[in-house]
Chains A and B, each alone.
Chain A
Amino acid sequence: MAANMLRLYLTCIRNTLEAAMCLQNFPCQEVERHNKPEVELKTSPELLLNSVVICRNEAEKCLIETSINSLRISLKVKQADELENILTKKFLRFLSMRAEAFQVLRRKPVQGYDISFLITNYHCEEMQKQRLIDFIVQFMEDIDKEISELKLSVNTRGRLVATEFLKQFI
């Protein structure tokens, strides 16, 4: 059931990205010889498309904001308890600090979300569009999986250490 819900959620995001990722080069209208991602500046409303929020539940959602030359994807990851909360924060902050390795990753997430991507028309020229979308979807799956595995590992470690500590009394 949960797997089906996740599949539906990811499929919806994939379809939305396929429709939204039609980017083209568009020089800045405000400043001569400048070329800026319009989705970040939001100075010209005519260059922006309607943003889309796809919610799996109250805790998990995805915000897709599109403009003529750039696309911003913000993700809110599920955090069931305090341990998942800190693991998610740590892991996503770790990745954001190394944003240059990902190219499309934003160093700071959009407010209200855990991680953000910024895709420009240059990225679409250098990389294959389908594979970029695959990367985003795969990333979401991997993050969920990794957080769950980390939580399990931390609890397993705690269990082993507690066992060793109590064995000394026997």
Chain B
Amino acid sequence: MSRHRQKHNMACFQRESPALKEILLRLYRAEKPLEFDHHLYEFGSVEYHVQASASIPDNTYLSIATPLLYQDFILSSGLPRYTLEMVKGISPDVIEIIEPPKEGYKLTLRLKYSRIPRNKGGVKMIASISSVQGVILSSQLKDMLMNVNSLEVSQGMYRPVKLIYHPREPFFVIKQPEKITAVFPMRFKEDTDVIIATAFFQELMDIGSSKAFVKAPHCIWSPIPPAELRGEPIEDLSTNGGFVSFDITGRHVEGKRLDKTVWNLLNFYAFVKYHVKSTRGFIQRRMRTRLESLVEVLYNAGIKDEHHIKKKNRGPKGVRKLLNFSKSKLLKKRYNFINKIKRIRSRIKIHWFSRFRKRWLNFSRFSSVTRYEKLN
């Protein structure tokens, strides 16, 4: 469960943009109206422009430029009406949509800070406004999924629609009678990631087909492209992780479930990549723990006088030191011998000869056993 909470704390799973939220909160908490003009870039393709004027404190302008989910949907007149309604619905009292948007941006909003309450609710409202990019992108998919039960045969039926949420990671949505199929071509950089992910997809299929998850979308993984994607460009169909398909029915888009379903589908890639990364970290931690126990067996093989070994020296560093017999054994013996002599000598203290003590305790250097000495 703690991992589930950690997932929601990760920036890629959060709906709101952390940087935009911080900027808007700074303006919200400012004691005096600020003069502010800030450009913000995220994920390589999303741009925000925040402008605030000290002379007109109530008007803060937020402009957003983001690639749309469905590239063919780009209209010269701007964002579709459904998307604008969804954005306005974030906070109708606070947000006003400026038409036309600023040049170079898809959407410009005016934020009326005076209408934001000065309590925890206000902070929540700012967080909701910071999620405007997620709202824009998810509104397109929501629009498609809401018509899942429609029997109207449209021109684009059965033709896969390519959607891009993360750059270089497109997925496909195919409208079919009474369901919509979302197909995710999976690509990974390393073979290890492919194998870990494939094991995960097989578990996903097993769990999805169990009785407890009858209500969840039916999930299929296949190493080859599904039949519905025939005819798509080869670069979209060449993968090393296979294809994961989810069948979304009317049940999954009813009421509040629509928002969850859309968000889960949009973040499926990020979810899988996070799982693979966590699994690699888990394997590494496990190997480190195992190393200590394996080394300990060999450590026991080298012990001849066990009572000389102190308990506090056990542990990885102590084990490594004690295992290095050939180098340190002689040095250790010599060191112990010198300390013993010093202790014996230091007990004998003749007061008026103290000034000569240093001279008496000045030992000649022991010749090193390993060093070569020229004989005269």
- A-side residues, CB < 8 A to B, are 82-83, 85-87, 90-91, 94-95, 98, 100-104, 122, 126-128, 131-132, 134-135, 138-139, 142, 146, 150, 153-155, 157-159, 161-170
A-B contact pairs, 6 of them (CB 8 A): A91-B287, A98-B291, A154-B282, A162-B203, A165-B264, A166-B216
Please indicate the chain B residues that have their CB under 8 angstroms from the CB of A162 in the complex: 200, 203-204, 206-208
Given that A94-B291, A101-B319 are known contacts, is A164 also in contact with B4, CB under 8 Å in the complex?
Answer: yes
B291–A163 contact, CB under 8 A? Answer: no
Please indicate the chain A residues that have their CB under 8 angstroms from the CB of B215 in the complex: 169-170
How far does the alpha carbon of A164 sit from the alpha carbon of B300 in the complex, in Å?
44
A103–B323 contact, CB under 8 A? Answer: yes
Partner among A128, A139, A153 whose Cβ is within 8 Å of the Cβ of B297: A139
Q: Is B217 in the interface zone, CB < 8 Å from A?
A: yes
Partner among B202, B264, B279 whose Cβ is within 8 Å of the Cβ of A157: B279
B191–A86 contact, CB under 8 A? Answer: yes
Task: Report the minimum CB–CB distance from A45 to chain B (whole Å).
Answer: 29
Q: Which 3 A-B pairs have the closest CB atoms?
A: A131-B301, A158-B200, A158-B203
Please indicate the chain A residues that have their CB under 8 angstroms from the CB of B165 in the complex: none
A166–B204 contact, CB under 8 A? Answer: yes
Please indicate the chain A residues that have their CB under 8 angstroms from the CB of B29 in the complex: none
How far does the alpha carbon of A146 sit from the alpha carbon of B283 in the complex, in Å?
11
Q: Kindly supply a per-residue 1/0 record for chain B positions 278-302, scoring 1 wherever the CB is within 8 Å of any chain A CB and 0 otherwise.
A: 1100111011001101110110111
Partner among A103, A142, A161, A169 whose Cβ is within 8 Å of the Cβ of B264: A169
Please indicate the chain A residues that have their CB under 8 angstroms from the CB of B334 in the complex: none
Task: Report the minimum CB–CB distance from A101 to chain B (whole Å).
Answer: 5
A101–B252 contact, CB under 8 A? Answer: no
Given that A101-B295, A135-B298, A153-B286 are known contacts, is A165 also in contact with B195, CB under 8 Å in the complex?
Answer: no
Partner among B4, B199, B216, B264 whose Cβ is within 8 Å of the Cβ of A155: B199
Of listed A85, A126, A153, A154, residue having the most chain B CB within 10 A: A154
Task: Report the minimum CB–CB distance from B109 to chain A (whole Å).
Answer: 29
By DSSP majority rule, is chain A's interface helix, strand, loop, or mixed?
A: helix
B200–A134 contact, CB under 8 A? Answer: no
Q: Is B188 in the interface zone, CB < 8 Å from A?
A: no
B195–A83 contact, CB under 8 A? Answer: yes
How far does the alpha carbon of A155 sit from the alpha carbon of B282 in the complex, in Å?
12
How far does the alpha carbon of A103 sit from the alpha carbon of B320 in the complex, in Å?
9
How far does the alpha carbon of A169 sit from the alpha carbon of B371 in the complex, in Å?
74
A86–B300 contact, CB under 8 A? Answer: no
Q: Is B275 in the interface zone, CB < 8 Å from A?
A: yes
Given that A98-B291, A150-B286 are known contacts, is A86 also in contact with B264, CB under 8 Å in the complex?
Answer: no
Task: Report the minimum CB–CB distance from B249 to chain A (whole Å).
Answer: 10
Please indicate the chain A residues that have their CB under 8 angstroms from the CB of B302 in the complex: 126-128, 131
Task: Report the minimum CB–CB distance from B226 to chain A (whole Å).
Answer: 20
B294–A131 contact, CB under 8 A? Answer: no
Closest to A129 in B: B301
Please indicate the chain A residues that have their CB under 8 angstroms from the CB of B206 in the complex: 159, 162
By DSSP majority rule, is chain B's interface helix, strand, loop, or mixed?
A: helix
Q: Kindly supply a per-residue 1/0 record for chain B positions 173-209, scoring 1 wherever the CB is within 8 Å of any chain A CB and 0 otherwise.
A: 0000000000000000001100110111011101110
A131–B286 contact, CB under 8 A? Answer: no
Please indicate the chain B residues that have their CB under 8 angstroms from the CB of A83 in the complex: 195-196, 199
B216–A169 contact, CB under 8 A? Answer: yes
B252–A153 contact, CB under 8 A? Answer: no
How far does the alpha carbon of A134 sit from the alpha carbon of B219 in the complex, in Å?
49
Please indicate the chain A residues that have their CB under 8 angstroms from the CB of B200 in the complex: 158, 161-162
- In the complex, how many residues of chain B place their beta carbon closer than 8 angstroms to a beta carbon of chain A? 51
Q: Kindly supply a per-residue 1/0 record for chain B positions 320-344, scoring 1 wherever the CB is within 8 Å of any chain A CB and 0 otherwise.
A: 1001011000000000000000000
Q: Is B105 in the interface zone, CB < 8 Å from A?
A: no
Please indicate the chain A residues that have their CB under 8 angstroms from the CB of B271 in the complex: 165
Please indicate the chain B residues that have their CB under 8 angstroms from the CB of A82 in the complex: 195, 198
Partner among B192, B199, B323 whose Cβ is within 8 Å of the Cβ of A90: B192
Further contacts, 5 of them, CB under 8 A, given A131-B302, A155-B203, A159-B203:
A101-B319, A154-B283, A158-B202, A162-B204, A163-B207
B216–A95 contact, CB under 8 A? Answer: no
Q: Is B257 in the interface zone, CB < 8 Å from A?
A: yes
Task: Report the minimum CB–CB distance from A83 to chain B (whole Å).
Answer: 6
Task: Report the minimum CB–CB distance from A56 to chain B (whole Å).
Answer: 21
How far does the alpha carbon of A64 sit from the alpha carbon of B284 in the complex, in Å?
30
Q: Is B261 in the interface zone, CB < 8 Å from A?
A: yes
Q: Is B260 in the interface zone, CB < 8 Å from A?
A: yes
Q: Kindly supply a per-residue 1/0 record for chain B positions 159-174, scoring 1 wherever the CB is within 8 Å of any chain A CB and 0 otherwise.
A: 0000000000000000
Please indicate the chain B residues that have their CB under 8 angstroms from the CB of A127 in the complex: 298, 301-302
A138–B287 contact, CB under 8 A? Answer: no
How far does the alpha carbon of A43 sit from the alpha carbon of B329 in the complex, in Å?
32
How far does the alpha carbon of A141 sit from the alpha carbon of B68 in the complex, in Å?
55
Partner among B191, B282, B294 whose Cβ is within 8 Å of the Cβ of A153: B282
How far does the alpha carbon of A12 sit from the alpha carbon of B195 in the complex, in Å?
35
Q: Is B41 in the interface zone, CB < 8 Å from A?
A: no
A169–B252 contact, CB under 8 A? Answer: yes
